[in-house]
Amino acid sequence: MLITPQAMNQGDLYNLLQALANACLDNAALAMASTTTKIKTTNAVTFRIAGKLYSKAASDNITVSGLTNTPAATFRKVRVEINAAGTVSFKEGAVGAAQVLAPLPRRSASKATLGWIEIPASFTYGTTDFNAAGVAFVDGDPDLGDAVSLPPNDRGISSTILTGP
């Protein structure tokens, strides 16, 4: 059976099924690395990609690259993902005028989510330290409801209410 993100609520169902098939089963404990402009996974993790189990040791000094620096008065959330080869990658969301307004990006296909990073205004990747004011590491997969503090729309999940035929 093939489910595609179309029609009423199927997009949410698709995201949930992807999150279940491609999921991190442990807390990676994302944090600033020993090189302060990089990040690390403090814990080893076991994760699923397409239902198959993989594991990855804790990693220090992971370069956060390929992302857009945040200008003044804008904030962003960055999803931290891992693929079957154990490569950590990043997907940035759109900017917001406040951190609470910056949406999480939708998940990538064939990757499990380790967590996300809240990026403050005026942040320059490779230059700004990850212990700067406003940087926050959040572990878990928001599509599975691990993020207690975020309402569903900030998790990349849309809410559709049926109001008629």
pLDDT in tens, 56-111: 999 999 999 999 999 999 999 999 999 999 999 999 999 999 999 999 998 898 99
Q: Per-residue pLDDT tens for 110-134? A: 999 999 999 999 999 999 999 999 9
Residue type, position 141, single letter: D
Instruction: Judge whether residue 157 has pLDDT over 50.
Output: no
What percentage of the chain exceeds 70 in pLDDT?
79
Confidence band, pLDDT 50/70/90 cuts, at residue 9: low
Instruction: Judge whether residue 46 has pLDDT over 90.
Output: yes
pTM of the predicted model as reported, rounded to 2 decimal places: 0.81
C-alpha pair distances (Å), 50 with each of 24, 130, 141, 147? 12, 32, 16, 23
φ, ψ dihedrals at 11, nearest 5°: -65, -45
Domains along the sequence of the chain with CATH: 27-155 (2.80.20)
**Per-residue tokens: 150:** 């975020």
